[in-house]
Amino acid sequence: MKEITFQELSQDFLNQLVKGAFLTVKNDEKVNTMTIGWGTVGYIWNKPILMVPVRYQRHTYSMIDQAQTFSVSVPVHKDMKKALAFCGTKSGRDMDKISEIGLVLEDAQMIDTPIIADCDLHIECKIVYKQAMEPGNLIGDIRKSSYPNNDFHVLYYGEIVKAYYK
């Protein structure tokens, strides 16, 4: 394991994000993961922050909205296209996606939410802020292209409490 700063993770995270990463949430003893393709890394409130958007209709929304933490696992050097596609198109309401596709969970180092063991890069976050999108503040072309069905996101800001390569 090699611990890294949020500045060091930015390039690999952002390069892979457009191809997909795993957002994992734990509520009580239930764990769910979904594929994300949007997010951002920054520095806000004197803290390193990872922001992830989750749509209201996602099963993950019902879990993350009650959670205090989340993890993002990023397959930087491993081809996990099949698992990313599966977790991006199936719902945790209907099945245990993690066992169905054969993903292996591993305890995170600083939070209760586990990580996806097969990935290289892991980001552990404590939720410090959440904000429902205000549709009226979106410019026209983004609203038309990303929200034709008015299925907006809630933005979850997580303080990065640990980031590392395995």
Query: Tens digit of pLDDT for each residue in 66-114?
Result: 999 999 999 998 899 999 998 888 788 888 899 988 999 999 999 999 9
Share of the chain above pLDDT 70, in %: 100
What pLDDT is attached to residue 51? Answer: 97
Asked whether the predicted pLDDT for residue 10 surpasses 90, the reply is no
Residue 150: which of 34, 56, 18 has the closest Cα? 56
CATH number for the region 2-165 comes to: 2.30.110.10
**29 pLDDT tier (thresholds 50, 70, 90):** confident
Residue 119: which of 152, 161, 74, 86 has the closest Cα? 74
For the stretch 111-122, pLDDT in tens is: 999 999 999 999
Mean pLDDT for 45-63 is 93
Mean pLDDT for 158-162 is 98
Mean pLDDT for 48-57 is 94
CA angle centred on 102, ends 32 and 162, rounded to 5°: 50
* Placement of tokens 């997010």 in the chain: 39
- Locate the domains of the chain by residue range: 2-165
Please provide the average confidence, as pLDDT, over all residues in the chain: 93
Tell me the backbone φ, ψ of residue 129, rounded to 5 degrees: -165, 145
